[in-house]
Amino acid sequence: MALVTESEIVLRYAETDRMGVAYHANYLVWMEVGRTDYLARLGFPYSSLEAAGVMFPTCDASFRLYKPSYYEERLRIETRLEKLRSRKVVFGYRVMRSGELVVSGRTEHICVNAKLRVQKIPVPLFEALGRALDNRK
Amino acid sequence: MALVTESEIVLRYAETDRMGVAYHANYLVWMEVGRTDYLARLGFPYSSLEAAGVMFPTCDASFRLYKPSYYEERLRIETRLEKLRSRKVVFGYRVMRSGELVVSGRTEHICVNAKLRVQKIPVPLFEALGRALDNRK
Amino acid sequence: MALVTESEIVLRYAETDRMGVAYHANYLVWMEVGRTDYLARLGFPYSSLEAAGVMFPTCDASFRLYKPSYYEERLRIETRLEKLRSRKVVFGYRVMRSGELVVSGRTEHICVNAKLRVQKIPVPLFEALGRALDNRK
Amino acid sequence: MALVTESEIVLRYAETDRMGVAYHANYLVWMEVGRTDYLARLGFPYSSLEAAGVMFPTCDASFRLYKPSYYEERLRIETRLEKLRSRKVVFGYRVMRSGELVVSGRTEHICVNAKLRVQKIPVPLFEALGRALDNRK
C-alpha cells in the first residue's frame, strides 16, 4: 500500500462563496496543502526543491464533489502518490469531514527546471517517491 | 454546432504564484467568468437564477494545461455547453492567447434549489440551453 | 491587558505571487483566520453568530508590512480586540515569524443583521467582548 | 489635477463570500487591477518594470467600505497617484458603481530591485509619475 499523509485545515471565510459553501477552486488549494505536507514528510520540502531548480507545475487536474463543506469546518486531506514516471507524478486526494468523503481529486505534475523546461525528476527524489508509492521501508 | 461565447480577461498579479505563472486554481475562476457570460448571453444571468432559487454548484471539474500564462496577458475564454440533462449541465472551455490554446477544461453542474436539494432545471432555462446546444435559431 | 489569541498558519503556495512572496491581499485573509479563532475562543464561533443573524462585515481595514514572507513558512497571528462600541468592534493583529514582526493590521467591523442592516451587538456577545477587552476573569 | 485612470471589472462569483457580498480582501485585488492599468497608461507596464528589476511591493494599505457590492455587478475603479517620493509611491482608489462610491482605498509601495532591496525609482519612470501627479502634458 502507498504512503498516505494527512493534513488538516479549517475552512476559511475567504474560501466561501455566496452559495454559503466552499468555492470549488479552493479544492485545488487544499490539495496543494496536502501535497506540500506529503513532500515535506518525504524529506523534500517543495520550497527546497524549487530553490534547487526542481518544480512541478500542475498540468492536469480533476475533482469530484460529494458533499458541500462550510465555514469553520475542520477537514482532513489525505494525499497519496498514484503514479510515478521519470518526468511526471500523479497525486490523489480525499478531503474528509469526520469520516465522510467531501471531495476527491487528482493532480498531475510535470517536472521542470527554473526555466520551465521539462527535466527528469532528480534521482534522490525519484527514489523517495518510489519508496512512498510502494510504502516500503 | 453549439453556441460559443467569448470572454476576455487580463491576467491579474493576484493570480500569479511564485513560479511566475498563473496559479492553476485560477483556471477554474476563469471558466466561471466564461460561464457567467454564457448564461447572461442566453438571457439568464446567473445572479437572477440564484435569486429565483436555481443554483448550479460545480460537482465535477477538470482542466489540462498547454502553455503557461503570465501577468498582464490578455486571454480569451471560449465557453460552450457540452451536455444537457434534466438536472445537470456540462460546460467545456478553451482559454486562448492570440490563437494559441493555453488551458482546456470542463465543469459539470447539478441543478439545486436554495436549500441545495437537487431539482429539475426550470423549463424556460432548459429550453434556452437546448437551443444553445444545437445553436438552432 | 486585553486577551490575545494565537493562530498558526503555514503559508500556502496559492498565497504567493510572482515576486516570490505572499501576495498582500492574503494578509487580510490571515487576520480573518485570527478573528475566527478569537471569537471561537470566547465561545461565540462566527458561524453560530451568522446562523443567529449577527454578522460583522469588514468596513475599514489597514495593514503595514515589515518583512516579506515566503511559501511554507510557519506564521503566528496574534489577535486582540482594540475597541468595542455598541454597534462596532475594532480588532488589531500582529503576524509573527519566530519572534519577528511580519505584518501588523487592524480591521473595523459593523454589526449587521441577515439583511445587512446595522444593529446593536447582542448583549451576551457584547459582555464577552467587554471581558476580553479588559481580560477580566 | 492629477491623472485619473479608469478600469472596469465585473464582480466574479469567486470574489463573493457567504454573506452574499464581495469578500473584503478582493478590494485590494481590484486596486491592483487599477494600478496595473495606470502604469500601462503611463507607458510603463508593470510586467516590463519587473522584467527590468523594478518592483513595487505593497508595504502599507487601507480601505473603507461604503456600500456592499454583489456578484455580476459592473464596477469602475478610479486610480490616481497621491504621493511621489524618490523611493516610494502612494496610490489612491475609488471603486464606483454607477456614480456611487462603493470602496475607497490607498496603497503605499516601496521601490525594490529583484533581490527585494530598496532602490530609487528609475529616472524615466519617476518623471512620468511626476507628470501624472501634476497632470501636465
Prediction ipTM score = 0.96
- C105-108: long-range contacts (C-beta < 8 A, 24 or more apart)? C105/C27, C105/C28, C105/C31, C105/C61, C105/C62, C105/C63, C105/C64, C106/C61, C106/C62, C106/C63, C106/C82, C107/C28, C107/C31, C107/C35, C107/C58, C107/C60, C107/C61, C108/C58, C108/C59, C108/C60, C108/C61
Which chain C residue shows the shortest CA-CA distance from A12? C33
C34-89 pLDDT, tens per residue? 999 999 999 999 999 999 999 999 999 999 999 999 999 999 999 999 999 999 99
Dihedral of the alpha carbons of D83, D86, D89, D90, in degrees to the nearest 10: -30
Q: D25: which chain A residues are within 8 Å (Cβ-Cβ)?
A: 14
Angle between helices C25-41 and D25-41 (to 10 degrees): 170
Which chain D residue shows the shortest CA-CA distance from C21? D57
- Low pLDDT (below 50) residues in chain D: 137
Element (H, E) at C47: helix C46-51
Q: B32: which chain A residues are within 8 Å (Cβ-Cβ)?
A: 25
Q: DSSP for C58-100?
A: EEEEEEEE-S---TT-EEEEEEEEEEE-SSEEEEEEEEEETTE
Interface test with C, best of D16, D28, D70, D106 (most C CBs within 10 A): D28
| pLDDT on residue A136 | 54
* Three-class SS state of D48: helix
| pLDDT on residue D136 | 54
- Rounded to the nearest 5 degrees, what angle is found at the Cα of C104, between the Cα atoms of C48 and C14? 70
DSSP B120: P
Q: D29: which chain C residues are within 8 Å (Cβ-Cβ)?
A: 25
| pLDDT on residue C15 | 98
The whole-number average pLDDT for the span A80-92 is 98
Element (H, E) at A30: helix A25-41
Q: C50: which chain A residues are within 8 Å (Cβ-Cβ)?
A: 71
Mean pLDDT of chain D: 96
Which chain D residue shows the shortest CA-CA distance from C56? D19
Flag if B29 and D46 touch (Cβ within 8 Å).
no
A52-70 pLDDT, tens per residue? 999 999 999 999 999 999 9
The three grid cell numbers given for residue C8, joined into one nine-digit string: 498558526
Interface test with B, best of C12, C18, C27 (most B CBs within 10 A): C18
Nearest to B57 by CA among B105, B4, B3, B115: B115
Nearest to B56 by CA among C55, A124, A55, A24: A24
| pLDDT on residue B1 | 76
DSSP C15: G
Q: Identify the active-site residue in C17, C37, C60, C134.
A: C17
Reported as a pLDDT band with limits 50, 70 and 90, residue C137 is very low
Q: Which of A33, A45, A50 sits opposite C12 (nearest CB)?
A: A33
